[in-house]
Amino acid sequence: MFTESAEVYDAIYSFKDYSAEAAQIAALIRTIHSEAESILDVACGTGEHAHCLAVTHGFNVDGLDLDAGLLRVAREKHGAGSFFQADMSAFALDKRYDAVLCLFSSIAYLVTLERTRRALECFRRHLREGGVLLVEPWFPPGGLEDGRVFRHTGTHLGRTVERVSRNEIDGRISRLWFDYRIDTPNGVRHASEVHELGLFTRDEMATAFEEAGLRAEFDAVGLTGRGLWVARSANDPAFAGEDAC
């Protein structure tokens, strides 16, 4: 998906306040699980959240992503973590974590509810007893304007990128058409990508969590205004006797 843009991902998203988000995430995890030490960041991208959560907040953070180019940047940025290349709906690591994250609407790249449910099951299986799962959703049906065009310019480590994006709504799929103008030492490079993300209602997501063996509650604001699902294993003895979320 990020075959054309992995090397300049941090420039494209230079507007994003990873430090502030990491502070929110750290506080939330420790509120729910005060002894939490380890985190798996699923769809970790270039590892900026992982880096902030480790360096500033003292967690042991690993990452997982499907894109080799993004993982290459993440490993350079956060050498203390382990980074795994895998599909988030079908992975099995030999480690368990106090928290699993899937942020920046990455869950919607699974496109279908069935793959989403399988991913949530994978996340649950990688939680330690008492662990917490945080999932940042994409927009629901009707939440995006068909045909809307956005233009953004960002700079990171001396690299400037201009991205023009256009939304296309095709039933339950939002298709994002990206065109890039990338400054390089040898001149300007032009590139394009098409990303597809599924559009799911809150009720559909709630059902997917339940079917995956998770108890979830929804914060309508979350980290960036898109909301945030906070979930725990329904069978976790650490929460025996609590009311369902």
Residue 161 lies in a domain: no
Domain count, the chain: 1
Residue 42 lies in a domain: yes
Element of type H or E holding 176: strand 173-184
> According to the model, what pLDDT value does residue 3 have?
87
Is the pTM higher than 0.75? The answer reads: yes
Residue 7 lies in a domain: no
Residues of the chain whose pLDDT is less than 70? 239-245
pLDDT tens profile 214-224: 999 999 999 99
Residue 171 lies in a domain: no
> According to the model, what pLDDT value does residue 42 have?
98
Residue 58 lies in a domain: yes
Residue 219 lies in a domain: yes
Domain around 29: 16-140+201-233
Which CATH number belongs to the domain containing residue 223 in this structure? 3.40.50.150
Distances in whole angstroms, Cα of residue 55 to Cα of each of 10, 67, 71, 72 = 18, 24, 18, 19
Q: Where are the alpha helices (DSSP H) in 56-197?
A: 68-77, 113-125
Residue 2 lies in a domain: no
> According to the model, what pLDDT value does residue 242 have?
54
> According to the model, what pLDDT value does residue 1 have?
79
Distances in whole angstroms, Cα of residue 148 to Cα of each of 145, 162, 166 = 6, 17, 6
Largest CA distance in the chain: 63
Only one residue has tokens 């559009």, namely 199
> According to the model, what pLDDT value does residue 91 have?
98
> According to the model, what pLDDT value does residue 240 have?
54
Distances in whole angstroms, Cα of residue 122 to Cα of each of 62, 142, 164, 225 = 15, 29, 34, 26
The answer to whether 92 and 58 have CB atoms below 8 angstroms apart is no
Residue 190 lies in a domain: no
